[in-house]
Structure 1
């Protein structure tokens, strides 16, 4: 996995989100966008897991968890979907926690409740693992 691979993957996922938003617009429930994103990712042949239960490992033991990320894409990108007026710090903390627990360097937050998804509805987050990747 390289930074270029992740950049390209984020670009593809953003493209899928733009397509969903273009077709159904803002103002719907998050679950609707989730289903549409799954369909769009499938059409684009992008591998993903939906509502992946995130394992918590503590002292060599795997603990039960009720944490679920919306979409885990190509086993390296956590995608959190929102349909809210504003992204708040807890949304970001949740995404960053998922990234850390899944040992992934990058995450993407997409909020469909905006007028222009490209400019105001998506943001990419990276963690300390990202800097160790090759360009």
Structure 2
């Protein structure tokens, strides 16, 4: 399936728990007087503390980790999870990324 399907289902399940969950949160980039509104888009952010980035790729590589680390730094969040749904065993597709711990 596509990433957006997993994102929607995970968002639905997390909302049922009562947690504050945002999906597709936009992060702008500001360079001098230039503001780029849609520079980055976070898949899911929970309680303004945990970022979840969803992938459906053959394997997680350094670019995916760098993407999530950038989101963590820009939001001052400490913890992020990369969830890759294209694995034989789901736990093999879960990667933890931390910001400054």
TM range (shorter): 0.7 to 0.9
Gap regions ≥5 residues in structure 2 = none
Gap regions ≥5 residues in structure 1 = 1-27
Question: Could you tell me the TM-score, scaled by structure 1's length?
Answer: 0.67
Instruction: Give the superposed CA RMSD.
Output: 1.7
How far has the Cα of 1:46 moved from its partner?
Answer: 2.1
Equivalent residue number for residue 63 of structure 2: 90
Distance 1:122 1:58 in 2: 34
Asked which structure has the greater CA Rg, the reply is 1
Distance 1:44 1:37 in 2: 11
Match of residue 78, structure 1, among 41, 47, 51: 51
**After TM superposition, what 4+ stretches of structure 1 lie above 4 angstroms from structure 2?**
none
User: Which structure has more strand as a fraction of its residues?
Assistant: 2
How far has the Cα of 1:78 moved from its partner?
Answer: 1.1
How big is each residue's C-alpha offset from its partner over 1:31-90, in whole Å with a ceiling of 9 and x where there is no partner? 11011011111122221111101133557x783242001011110111100111111221
Higher RCO (CA-CA < 8 Å; seq separation 6+) = 1
**Aligned residue-pair number:** 100
